[in-house]
Amino acid sequence: MSGAGAQPATDARLHHPRPTADRRLAHGLSPCEPPAAVPVPLAATFENFDRLLHALEARLTLGISPIALTLARLDWLLHLANAPGRRLALLQQAWLDGLRLASWAGRRMFGAEDPPPFAPEPEDRRFLDPAWQWPPFVFFAQGQLALERFWEAATSDLRGVLGPHRRQVEFLTRQDLDLRAPSNFPWTNPEVIRRTVAEGGWNLLRGFSFFVEDLYRQFSGQPPVGTEQFRPGHEVAATPGQVVFRNHLIELIQYEPKTSTVYPEPVLIVPAWIMKYYILDLSPNNSLVRYLVDRGFTVFMISWRNPGPEDRDLAFDDYRRLGVLAALDAIGRIARGRRVHAVGYCIGGTLLAIAAAAMARDRDERLCTLTLFAAQTDFSEAGELMTFVDEAQLAFLEDLMWDQGVLDTWQIAGTFRLLRARDLVWSRIIRQYMLGERPQLSDLDAWSLDATRMPARMHGEYLRHLFLENRLSRGRYAVAGRPVALTDIRVPLFVVGTERDHIAPWQSVYKIRLLTDAEITFVLAASGHNRGIVSPPGELGRHFRIRTMAEDEPYIPPDHWPAVAELREGSWWPAWVEWLAARSGEPVPPPPMGAAEAGLPPLCPAPGTYVTMR
């Protein structure tokens, strides 16, 4: 199903063809030797045995290679051993910080009210309870912060250490320190102690029952507690519409118009397929789709199929052909002659940028604007996910996916939770299993627990060709056998980054300014990768910066951009709708729902069937 336009598969680990004369020469054998001289079946058997072993190991490590991490630590350790000056500086820091801590603790023991010497980072919420400001808990917290300060100095900016290795050592050290934090143990956490005394230990019993229930649900394949309150088609993904096209990979949803006239150019949304599409159609007051429909736009949404092992050979280019292009073809049969406002989110935005570049190269002019939400096109600074992207790590992960056919939901979720372990692992353990509290899920929380799988070939190509080799920004990413260039895109772009995005840092998203020659309106929104995009008007604490840059305007580096951009309070959604409207024609009557005469009758009501696939 990879198709003629698929990205060439160059990694021999994904395929095992029989050896040709060129391969025999590469192994030092004569091409004239009889085939029996090359023990291909036996060699392949041995290699497959290794891959099965690696796949078993990966199931125990969430797909993280222990060899890759060992090499990273060894790289760091050898360079530190060869840097006596750096070791002396670390020894001096440890000595001075120890003196500061001991001196302050001594004064505090005798009643002094001096401020503690070490302050947590603004986003660190572990020690917010007032009891952490009093002995003995304040000493526990200060000791932890002093230890974290030392190891941050020890693992960062050590000359000679490879970039991926430095990130992995920092990651490992942070995980180890977070694990040992006094907030994670009931006998050193004042909030847990206070609750346990007040309830006579019932909070711990409740927490244990929650732990058993969660474990049972995970192993039995049931959704997490609380998600039953947010059912697609009922409480979420409830904007009225019809599935008007279906193939093996997508269902295309057309939403019913809410106004008597609509802008003539329809909006096509290409969501990420790492998760379900309905992050952009949550509950009615939190739905970007409903917001657009209410303001006179005809909206189409791609709903991706949740792949299984039988889809292991789906390629990244299949998502372009069977996803973006198939959806555009269907829209062209419904809204005849109309150009399209194309919108892509996260990996869906990366795919859309590739598709738009290929269309521009081939003189396909069906797009009138391009909008990218938290989508990267240059992966040289691709955020914390780069911690797990190097050759050793990818080989290990590819062996896991080779065995399974997909990267499974719990493996994807586990990786993302590790990247934000304080917020997504330890705080959850404390709140639920020690304090005995079940959090009230929001629609966005429930969506984040509705995970999907990733086909082996697609995910391997995505990580290798984009993350590791960064082919797209270097003009080496091929579509239909020819490289594409983002400079070919000439339509106006609306690009959104978010301030605290650990998946697609806004500085990385902003790099599209270097890769295109089109007009770009860039928005820097408050919050993170998901909450910064799901930003309905009326929510408190929202703000964004916005600036339009003409194609011939001098480049503004990201460090300077916030200072020259306009700061606005509230949601960025109205600014985007205004931008779309300014690039649309005069309103016309809505198009029909589907096009039965063109072979596209409505198939079933939204949200369709693919969104409920487990």
Return the active site residues.
346
Residues 6+ apart with CB under 8 A from 25: 31
Query: Can you say whether the dihedral through the CA atoms of 108, 112, 116, 122 is positive or negative?
Result: positive
| Residue found under tokens 């947010």 | 230
The residue among 252, 312, 304, 249 whose CA lies nearest residue 273 is 304
Helices 202-220 and 190-199, axial angle in degrees (round to 10)? 110
Find out whether 130 and 156 touch, Cβ atoms under 8 Å. Answer: no
Find out whether 301 and 277 touch, Cβ atoms under 8 Å. Answer: yes
The residue among 395, 402, 312 whose CA lies nearest residue 52 is 402
Strand 367-373 vs strand 299-304: parallel, antiparallel, or unpaired?
Answer: unpaired
The residue among 109, 23, 107, 50 whose CA lies nearest residue 403 is 50
Query: Can you say whether the dihedral through the CA atoms of 536, 267, 261, 244 is positive or negative?
Result: negative
Residues 6+ apart with CB under 8 A from 294: 258, 259
Q: What tokens does 354 get?
A: 């590739």
| Residue found under tokens 């509950």 | 283
| Residue found under tokens 């586990």 | 414
Q: What is the DSSP letter of 326?
A: H
Scored b (16 or more CB within 10 A) or e, 403-432 reads bbbbbbbebbbbbbebbebbeebbbeebbb
Query: Can you say whether the dihedral through the CA atoms of 230, 236, 241, 247 is positive or negative?
Result: negative
3-state secondary structure of 568: strand
Distance CA 268, CA 287 (A): 15
Q: Which contacts of 72-78 are long-range, i.e. CB under 8 A and separated by 24 or more positions?
A: 72/162, 72/164, 72/165, 72/166, 72/168, 72/169, 72/172, 73/168, 73/169, 73/172, 75/161, 75/162, 75/165, 75/169, 76/155, 76/158, 76/161, 76/165, 76/166, 76/169
In the beta sheet, which residues pair with residue 268? 300, 342
Distance CA 138, CA 120 (A): 12
